[in-house]
Structure 1
Amino acid sequence: MIQPAEEEVWRVFVDGASSLAGCGVGVVIISPLGEKIKLALSIDSRVTNNEAEYEAVLTGIRAAWEVGASQIILYSDSQLITQQIKGVYEAKDDMMLKYLQLIRAQAEIFADWSIEQIPREENGEADALEKMAVSLSEVSTREVLHVSRLILSTEEEILPVPEDSWMTPLIKFIMNNELPDDKAQAQKIKR
């Protein structure tokens, strides 16, 4: 991992959590010009807190790529996750190893990338989005986009990143105010 040049870097703040109320991910992407893209995602299946944190990192990587970033710095308040990704801590659990493998493979699409641990108070926006996703996961699906886990524990293979991701219509709407031709899908994207 190389430290990207400051003028071209996209900053990606991520947070994930799991509770009895649900599982969620919050991502805040900040462009080199300071523009923000915020994602609050509810995870359909139950995951551990560590798995939710890894899901947040994967979502951040994929979303940053979708908006055209070529250099990113990921920020997470999870010491375990950041240190495992950096190789400081060893991942012993099979699921953690799968997440690490997938993250390292997908992060290679960037010219430069790194991950840094930050204090929880510096990750407030991603934390708030994650909390919203968790609290709304069983109450309302209108304000939170639901996604399946990026890795399924029953599968042995690492899932590839699809060329046309579920985020593509959202990104097109956010960046270019472009909506799908299907009226129902367009309304969903607007919400």
Structure 2
Amino acid sequence: MDDSSVEPFDELLVFVDGASKGNPGESAAAFVVCDGDGNVLFEMASRIGIATNNEAEYWALLLALDFLRQWKVKRLSVFSDSELLVRQLQGTYRVRSPKLSSLHQLAKERIQGFPSFTITHIPREKNQRADSLASEILTSRVRL
């Protein structure tokens, strides 16, 4: 498919969240993609196996970045209720865990594929849809 005729999005808002039953334990990652006006365009949740909560947060971001690589977007604004994820990607916090270090590196590499990228820490109440998606798939009996 020739995507040269596809109009780029000026801005996409992406809300990411990870969840873990135990730390580490069975985990899930979710993201919600909205247009600049806040209208939901796409949402996804996936089980990711055994991980810590912080690893699940990184996986949520990585899943979103991988998915959005195919979209034409001028500005990607990501929101997370994980202060650790946000501050590590902003360079405020050091990455100490070897597992998180490799996930952090993958995230930094994928972020380079977007012309403009920001990540912002938000309260959990502002991230309810992504939080619900991650929790729902984690507690559902259906295995995909």
Confirm or deny a common fold (TM above 0.5): yes
In the alignment, structure 1 residue 109 sits paired with structure 2 residue 113: yes
Deviation of 1:94 after TM superposition, in Å, equals 1.0
Q: What is the TM-score of this pair, normalised by structure 2?
A: 0.85
- Unpaired stretches in structure 1, ≥5 consecutive residues: 1-6, 147-191
Deviation of 1:18 after TM superposition, in Å, equals 0.9
- Counterpart of 1:15 (choices 11, 14, 17) is 17
Letter in 1 for 2:142: S
1:152-167 equivalences under 5 Å are: none
Deviation of 1:98 after TM superposition, in Å, equals 0.8
Larger CA Rg, structure 1 vs 2: 1
Q: Which has the higher strand share?
A: 2
In the alignment, structure 1 residue 66 sits paired with structure 2 residue 88: no
Q: 2: CA distance between counterparts of 1:132 and 1:49?
A: 15
- Unpaired stretches in structure 2, ≥5 consecutive residues: 1-8
Deviation of 1:26 after TM superposition, in Å, equals 1.5
Which moved further from structure 2: 119-128 or 17-26? 17-26
Q: 2: CA distance between counterparts of 1:97 and 1:39?
A: 25
Q: 2: CA distance between counterparts of 1:71 and 1:51?
A: 25
1:167-182 equivalences under 5 Å are: none
Q: What is the TM-score of this pair, normalised by structure 1?
A: 0.65
Deviation string for 1:32-76 (max 9, x for gaps)?
353421101111x20011100000111111122233334201100
Q: 2: CA distance between counterparts of 1:70 and 1:135?
A: 36
For this pair of structures, how many residues does the alignment match? 133
Q: Identity over aligned residues, as a percent?
A: 29
Q: 1: CA distance between counterparts of 2:94 and 2:110?
A: 19
